[in-house]
Structure 1
Amino acid sequence: MAQPRPISHLRSLLASGVGNLLEWFDWTVYTVASVYIAAALFDKADRMSSLLNTLAVFAAGFFARPLGGIVFGAMADRLGRRAVLLSTMLMMATASLLIAAIPSYDAIGGWASAALLLARLVQGAAHGGETTASYAYVAEIAPPKRRGLWSSAVFISVGAGSLIATFFMAFLTAVLSADQMQQWGWRVPFAAGGLLAVFVLWLRRNMVESVEDASAVKHHVQPWSRGKLFKEGIKLFMYEAGSTLTYYTWVSSAAIYAMSVKHMNAHDAFTMSCIAQVVYLVALPVIGRLSDFIGRKVTTLISLIGIAITIFPLWGMITTEPWTLLVAQTIGLVLVGFITGAKPAAVSEQVPTRYRTKLFGFFISLAVAFFGGTASYFSTWLASIQKAWLFNVYLVVIALIASVVVLNWKNNTGKPLYDIE
């Protein structure tokens, strides 16, 4: 029987989770408020062009993630996971406050767009470091036989942050007029996220360290050659390509598509998206625990292959009717949950401790930049030229490639992480 973790580990799991929640709140608010940001901080002469420019800045934030991942991945080995998780929280909060305070395009012209780009680059670097450290941290402090269940806490936090961001926008659109939303309402969530970071920093100050010096961890595990490091890194990259593309398609792109292409009422779209994300969050710990019994390989393949099979019928059913978004996004998100419910455990079990944050920091962050950061932009652009079906083909191909990688995974479910070779 697995021994229970000390109460300090449970508190550390909570502190990590609350921080993850707030980081993803700050990160997701940008997406769900993109229609308002486009009108406030870009030239409004062409509505679709300003929206695409807003989504391009969103993508730029993702391309800063590999830099953050590389820098903070190395820091996590030298200074510990805890130091990184404190630093990234502070960076994300500062950038959110900057976005909340940027004057409009009408007031300062192109400087508004430039300031937004700078803030998103800072957020992207922080996000890369947070993801790199938190995946490893939670897996390392978890009981080996319940690693999937504990790992579900990461994406419960991620999903809760995204959900609260969506709910916040749904609430604001319900109580404020369209003109108030455009003038100042969209700024409120960014300001709130930045200010709440003070509480999260207080929570994280006493987190336990999962690995005192990961670079010195040797035991009996043989070091990897540069060739093997690159080969395993490419596997992580292709796995993450499938994981992140399917995630962003169903978490954020679906609602944007419903509003900007199908012209669904914004309040209705945000509300339906909130309900779908609640179902997804409830499913995550169940799926995480299931992975402790049947293995991470099986649950991951259920997700990737399931999404590849269902993307065309689900995306095609979205119309102006709110219930269509609810049904499609709920099914899509539950399938996504078969990856995210145990993702930190799944990837940590494929990489030795001494290389874990380094490989996560570069290859996972790079895949998120290329495939997650461009998902909303690519799908919206293709829809604007009546080629939305091409995005679905793209997703199917990437999901199937990722499935091939997962088929060749080692079965390290429940194995002590220090014994991973």
Structure 2
Amino acid sequence: MASLPMSTKKQDPHHSKNSKTLTAIGLGNTLEWYDWQIFGLLAAFIGPNFFPNADPVSSTLSALSVFAVGFAFRPLGGVLLGRLADRIGRRKVLLLSITMMAVSTLVIAISPTYQDIGVFAGLLLFVCRVFQGISAGIEAPLSTAYAVELSPAGREGRAAGVLSMFVNLGILGASLVSFATSALIDDAAMADGGWRVPMFVGAALGVVVIYLRRNLPESLPAATGTGPQAPPPVWRQVGRHWLALLAIIFVVGAAQAYNYAWNVGLPNLANGFGEDSTSVFALTTLLGLILLVGSPLVGMLADRRKLSRTFVATRLLVVPAAFLMLAYAGPGIGGFSIVLLVGGLVLVTNMTLYNVISTSLMPQTCRATGVGLGYGIAVALFGGTASYLLIWLQQQGIDWLFPVYLAALSLISVVLYLLAKRTTGLYAGE
């Protein structure tokens, strides 16, 4: 009997170390999504400061175009930094990616406007989004792969749930800081320079995350070097899993199109309809709370019910949820709140599972490259364009087309996932 407390104590340092590691990885996700989300939420304020257009809708679309530029460079981040992570290990690349994001956010926060330096203001904003895109192209897929590699078998869903909770903390933080800033100052001050405050908050968080990540353990086996026991070249392995790569593109793409439609497109649409900005930020903050609380619960459900089954069931729910947005076709904060929050309940299930599902489709020796590439392509094609497409279709009077598009992406992702699972198998989560 006396040995039991001693055994328990011996396990404590291990659990404590894992908790610290997961916190360092998770807070990196918080920063990544905070910085990424804050730009989208503040596009209506950033646009007039960096682009020469008196029309607020046109300047917002210009800012959203630069927002989309970051997505276009995500595949490059997945290829370059993913390949690097499969060669030299996960830790160094995770530290590099978060440093790039934090520095880029700080530069945007202190950047001069169009009135100060003309077209160079927009160019500087463009360059910062390029670096943020490269960083974001590897951060989410690599951190999930890293967490899965360090998790006990059968606990992958819980790891995904915890990381998703940190992601949603970033989304919530972006909305909360935007709401608080907007509530403390008037709209004129917000447009003039108040939008910089949330950027400075993100840069400060970056310093904390860099400090926490400096001593992360390595999860990539040392045997992935050279010699007779070395695996085939990474790109050859990815080529062998081409169907899995295609499935990852649509698994991630459908989730991200849904995510950016709800978290960026709908709030900017509400601003375009003339809704009170403080009320809009309050509702996006409430959506962030739903995502934050729901993600660990979804992760536990996935471990209990089986990861693949939970994914398929929750992904199919996107189809009816997508058409819910048609209920918000004109001004009215009540309609906006119903669409945003009810759709958010389905959103949380999809945003919790898509990264761990992607990770499960690639073996460890080519995981960072394969998942990073698929993730980057998906977010560039489907995530980065979603908010722009939603608003543009609304302007053209064919807003019904976006839910059709989102539903089709979701159904294709389910079919490809099931085909890849049957053809190449799963490498985690089952």
TM-score > 0.5, shorter chain as reference: yes
Corresponding residue number in structure 1 for 2:8: none
Task: Give distance in 2, aligned partners of 1:114 and 1:222.
Answer: 42
CA-to-aligned-CA distance 1:129-184 (integer Å, 9 cap, x gap): 21231121111111212210111122111111011111111111111122211111
Corresponding residue number in structure 1 for 2:394: 383
Report how many aligned residue pairs link the two structures: 414
- Please state if 1:208 is matched with 2:217: yes
Equivalent positions of 1:265-280 (< 5 A) are 265-280=276-291
Corresponding residue number in structure 2 for 1:33: 42
Task: Give distance in 1, aligned partners of 2:342 and 2:306.
Answer: 22
Higher deviation after alignment, 340-349 or 287-296: 340-349
* From 234, 241, 246, the counterpart of 1:234: 246
Matched AA of 2:174: A
Going from structure 1 to structure 2, the CA distance change for 1:192 and 1:347 (only over 3 Å counts) comes to: same
* Aligned sequence identity (%): 31
Corresponding residue number in structure 2 for 1:365: 376
Corresponding residue number in structure 2 for 1:396: 407
In structure 2, runs of 5+ residues without a counterpart are: 1-10
1:9·1:208 contact (CA, 8 Å) conserved in 2? no
Which secondary structure does the structure 2 equivalent of 1:112 belong to? helix
In structure 1, runs of 5+ residues without a counterpart are: none
Task: Give distance in 2, aligned partners of 1:416 and 1:333.
Answer: 30
Corresponding residue number in structure 2 for 1:335: 346
Give 1:267 deviation, angstroms. 0.7
- Please state if 1:89 is matched with 2:98: yes
Matched AA of 1:333: G
Give 1:220 deviation, angstroms. 12
Task: Give distance in 2, aligned partners of 1:286 and 1:92.
Answer: 29
CA-to-aligned-CA distance 1:244-271 (integer Å, 9 cap, x gap): 11222222222122221x3221110110
- Please state if 1:299 is matched with 2:300: no
Task: Give distance in 2, aligned partners of 1:340 and 1:313.
Answer: 18
Corresponding residue number in structure 1 for 2:53: 44
Corresponding residue number in structure 2 for 1:160: 169
Corresponding residue number in structure 2 for 1:183: 192
Task: Give distance in 2, aligned partners of 1:258 and 1:178.
Answer: 15
Higher deviation after alignment, 397-406 or 89-98: 397-406
Corresponding residue number in structure 2 for 1:354: 365
TM-score, reference length from structure 2: 0.90
* From 255, 260, 276, the counterpart of 2:267: 255
CA-to-aligned-CA distance 1:254-300 (integer Å, 9 cap, x gap): 2122221x322111011011112202211111110110122222222
Corresponding residue number in structure 2 for 1:78: 87
Corresponding residue number in structure 1 for 2:3: none
Give 1:336 deviation, angstroms. 2.0
Task: Give distance in 2, aligned partners of 1:192 and 1:99.
Answer: 12
1:139·1:344 contact (CA, 8 Å) conserved in 2? no
Give 1:381 deviation, angstroms. 1.2
Higher deviation after alignment, 205-214 or 6-15: 205-214
RMSD: 2.5
Going from structure 1 to structure 2, the CA distance change for 1:121 and 1:226 (only over 3 Å counts) comes to: closer
Going from structure 1 to structure 2, the CA distance change for 1:214 and 1:42 (only over 3 Å counts) comes to: farther
2:314·2:350 contact (CA, 8 Å) conserved in 1? yes
Going from structure 1 to structure 2, the CA distance change for 1:41 and 1:220 (only over 3 Å counts) comes to: closer
Give 1:15 deviation, angstroms. 0.6
Task: Give distance in 2, aligned partners of 1:140 and 1:226.
Answer: 18
2:164·2:296 contact (CA, 8 Å) conserved in 1? no
Which secondary structure does the structure 2 equivalent of 1:388 belong to? coil
Going from structure 1 to structure 2, the CA distance change for 1:18 and 1:57 (only over 3 Å counts) comes to: same
- Please state if 1:169 is matched with 2:181: no
Task: Give distance in 1, aligned partners of 2:369 and 2:50.
Answer: 36
2:247·2:420 contact (CA, 8 Å) conserved in 1? no
Task: Report runs of 4+ in structure 1 exceeding 6 Å deviation.
Answer: 217-224
- Please state if 1:104 is matched with 2:116: no
CA-to-aligned-CA distance 1:300-330 (integer Å, 9 cap, x gap): 2233221111222344246544343333222
Going from structure 1 to structure 2, the CA distance change for 1:179 and 1:136 (only over 3 Å counts) comes to: same
2:49·2:114 contact (CA, 8 Å) conserved in 1? yes
Give 1:221 deviation, angstroms. 9.4
- Please state if 1:15 is matched with 2:24: yes
Which secondary structure does the structure 2 equivalent of 1:410 belong to? helix
TM-score, reference length from structure 1: 0.92
Task: Give distance in 2, aligned partners of 1:209 and 1:11.
Answer: 14
Higher deviation after alignment, 385-394 or 285-294: 385-394
